[in-house]
Amino acid sequence: MLVFIDDSGDPGFNFDKGYTIFFIISCIIFSDDLEVERVAVSIKELKRALKFPDNLEFKFNKSSKKT
C-alpha cells in the first residue's frame, strides 16, 4: 500500500499579507502498486502532450487556465 499526502494553501492567519483563506490537505491511497505505475505513466503522458518537462510539478496557482 502506498499513501500520498499533499497540502495547499498557507496555514498562517496573516490574511492582510496575502495569505490564503483556505488550507487544504488531500490524500490518495493505493492498495495496488501496478495502479500507482499506471497513474505515473498517465501523468507523464499528459506532461508530454502539453510539452512540459517530465520533472515539472503541477502547481495550481502558477498554471494557466488552459493547463
Instruction: Establish if 67 belongs to a structural domain.
Output: no
Instruction: Establish if 20 belongs to a structural domain.
Output: yes
Instruction: Establish if 10 belongs to a structural domain.
Output: yes
Q: What predicted TM-score, i.e. pTM, was given to this entire model?
A: 0.67
Residues contacting 48, CB < 8 A, separation 6+: 54
Specify the pLDDT at position 62: 73
Q: What is the pLDDT of residues 2-28, one digit of tens each?
A: 999 998 877 776 767 767 778 889 999
Instruction: Establish if 6 belongs to a structural domain.
Output: yes
Is 14 or 44 the better-scoring residue by pLDDT?
A: 44
Domain with 34, as residue range(s), is 2-62
With bands split at pLDDT 50, 70 and 90, how would you rate the model's confidence at 38? Answer: very high
Task: Provide the domain count of the chain.
Answer: 1
Specify the pLDDT at position 15: 67
Would you give the DSSP letter of residue 10?
Answer: -
